[in-house]
Structure 1
């Protein structure tokens, strides 16, 4: 049923069922690391990654109307494979919340990932010209581990589909109950876009 709903919505829109349109920009993730560690190498270890960021509006409402804003991050792994994270503006950590500006408030993964040492949320907040990336246990404080620098120039000419289930960051596993919801939704959205003749 979920697949059919997302397929129909994507077919009508000729785009993704949710976050149908967005701007994809080049970015760099500068990781200073985290101690004590989480068991997730990408979070714990310092380094620098080439990345893409997609800013989008969840329901596709026109600006300046508030909408649940999306920040999709794709990091290029050392092997060249994509690692994807999807964050949305929230009230607190778990409740999707509409905003007008991606630089206001918190972006959160909403669902906690299954990490090697327990559940972890990932968040981003705009501070002094860049996004701070942080992790937190469901009840613990946010712990910044990296800076996300968005370069403000278009990164690609073709649409990019971010899929955190297929392209999970190693150690940040999507919980099974969320996989059961997300996989048919993404599959339905992809089929709907193919039927409409568009891949965006």
Structure 2
């Protein structure tokens, strides 16, 4: 067993206990569209087209309570031959804080980052995003996200930065509908285009193992809670 698999075992155990994802267990799945705003060939090869997106809370804090926010979307690869998943989490402000997680109090204006750079054309690129729509209600309620997406629509700006340079506009996301009755698992390690990869490799290997362990935990047969086990033993 590889070291990354061993280190990732707690993700499987945690998912088994929760019977769902260990992190970002609940979210709002939405349909929408990506529009590229950067010139073609400049930076990361995102292409305009339909997307599926998900806004979530990392720890699953209930209601409007603060949490680490999550933003993900799935789009077509630039080659048109597969899926490209992008996952971001809320981070501190500033060029040196794009990999530092930060709990947030509200959705509007908060910054989200890939936490890891993406290697493309022998350069390292960072992605960040910001929800620009005004989310009514205050706090960090997922119901407010769903209400906005199914009503006026939810807008997100996406920017890219070469190494530690300043961020520049890359794309706009517009979500205009909630996809109910289903959820999907985004995997930025497996679902990636040619010539773009998360880096460094050792951290990518760990994330690959963690996502796999989490899926295995969610698919495991339901285990009784300690209370259920005790009741069965006494009966």
Whether 1:88 aligns to 2:89 is yes
SS at match of 1:95: coil
Uncovered stretches (5+) of structure 2, i.e. residues with no partner: 1-5, 134-153, 223-235
Cα pair 2:158 2:173 within 8 Å, conserved: yes
Partner deviation per Cα, 1:24-59 (whole Å, 9 max, x = no partner): 001110112337722x332xxxx5210011111001
SS at match of 2:48: strand
Whether 1:116 aligns to 2:117 is no
Calculate the TM-score normalised by the size of structure 2.
0.75
Cα pair 1:41 1:171 within 8 Å, conserved: no
Correspondence list, 1:44-193, <5 A: 48-77=48-77, 79=80, 81-92=82-93, 93-127=98-132, 130-151=155-176, 153-155=177-179, 157-175=181-199, 176-193=201-218
Which structure has the larger Rg over C-alpha atoms?
2
Uncovered stretches (5+) of structure 1, i.e. residues with no partner: none
How many residues align structurally? Answer: 191
Calculate the TM-score normalised by the size of structure 1.
0.87
Partner deviation per Cα, 1:89-125 (whole Å, 9 max, x = no partner): 1003111101132323211111111121411111111
Cα pair 2:82 2:193 within 8 Å, conserved: no
Question: Which structure features the higher share of strand residues?
Answer: 1
**Higher mean Cα deviation, 115-124 or 77-86?**
77-86
